[in-house]
């Protein structure tokens, strides 16, 4: 069906027009590809678990599932523990105040089945490791913990080296002492001091568990002596 006259309007050179003639000169060759039929025998995978009752819930959109044809339709070899699964759902939904009855699983002859005990401990440990961090919503705007962990200015650090931080021996009540510590750490204090204290302790926990400051704190610890003095005890208590 190719005709050179259909492309006469193209503003091309004579050399390009000669290339068009090769389109009609070309004749494709039929190449027969050799093939070899081989029987395909899939591996036998036995079903593990309960017997399949073939009671399938169809998809809500009406499309076929193709279970057993395109996707393996067999129960998992490692069945989930109902109690652990219920705890996972409770943690993810954050519905801790919902009163529900959970059946406690008992294990007979526990000393003869250490694998079940280790599996339970591993499941609960994984649950605690994957717990989402507790979120606290303050009633007033509070600075972020990461911003409070930034370095102080050199002038302020030099002033602290000369003056020192206020200690608990100052002649003031607890409320005034909290206000002073929070003012030094740039933590705003409003009518209630509970939320500033929560942010203060959160900041202390971040510094204590920090990978940068923890080795420094462990390296500066004083080795225990046989008869420490009272001044040394007071110094150790004030920094632990």
Mind listing the pLDDT tens digit for each residue in 193-215? 888 888 888 888 888 877 777 66
Q: Which residues contact 98 (CB under 8 A, 6 or more apart)?
A: 90
In angstroms, the CA 85 to CA 79 distance is: 11
Q: Is the pLDDT of residue 228 over 60?
A: no
pLDDT in tens, 101-137: 666 677 788 788 888 888 888 888 888 877 766 667 7
Segment 150-173 shows an average pLDDT of: 82
Q: DSSP string covering 208-226, please?
A: HT-TTHHHHHHHTPPPP-S
Dihedral sign (CA 226, 231, 236, 237): positive
Single pTM value for the model: 0.38
CB 138 within 8 A of CB 195: yes
3-class secondary-structure state, position 71: strand
> For position 192, what pLDDT does the model report?
81
Segment 80-103 shows an average pLDDT of: 72
In angstroms, the CA 181 to CA 197 distance is: 10
Q: Which residue has the higher pLDDT, 231 or 18?
A: 18
> For position 99, what pLDDT does the model report?
58
Residue 71's beta-bridge partner residues? 67
Q: Is the pLDDT of residue 229 over 70?
A: no
Q: Which residue has the higher pLDDT, 96 or 172?
A: 172
> For position 41, what pLDDT does the model report?
76
In angstroms, the CA 82 to CA 84 distance is: 6
Cα–Cα distance list, 98 to 77, 93, 101 (Å): 32, 11, 10
CB 196 within 8 A of CB 178: yes
Q: What is the mean pLDDT of the chain?
A: 75
């Amino acid at each position: 069906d190719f005709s050179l006259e259909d492309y006469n309007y193209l503003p091309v050179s004579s050399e390009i027009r000669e290339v068009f003639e090769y389109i009609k000169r070309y004749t494709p060759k039929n190449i027969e590809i050799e093939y070899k039929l081989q029987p395909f025998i899939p591996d036998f995978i036995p079903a593990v678990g309960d017997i399949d009752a073939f009671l399938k819930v169809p998809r809500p959109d009406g499309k076929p599932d193709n279970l057993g044809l395109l996707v393996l339709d067999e129960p998992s070899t490692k069945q989930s523990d109902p109690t652990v699964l219920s705890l996972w759902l409770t943690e993810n939904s954050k519905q801790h105040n919902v009163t529900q009855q959970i059946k406690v699983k008992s294990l007979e002859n526990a000393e003869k089945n250490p694998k079940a005990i280790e599996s339970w401990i591993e499941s609960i440990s994984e649950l605690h490791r994957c717990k989402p961090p507790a979120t606290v919503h303050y009633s007033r705007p509070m600075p972020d913990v990461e911003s409070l962990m930034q370095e102080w200015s050199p002038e302020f650090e030099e002033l602290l080296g000369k003056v020192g931080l206020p200690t608990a021996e100052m002649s003031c009540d607890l409320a005034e002492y909290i206000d002073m510590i929070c003012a030094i750490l740039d933590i705003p204090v409003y009518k209630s001091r509970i939320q500033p204290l929560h942010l203060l302790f959160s900041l202390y926990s971040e510094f204590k568990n920090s990978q940068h400051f923890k080795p420094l704190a462990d390296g500066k610890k004083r080795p225990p002596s046989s008869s420490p003095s009272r001044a040394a005890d007071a110094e150790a208590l004030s920094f632990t």
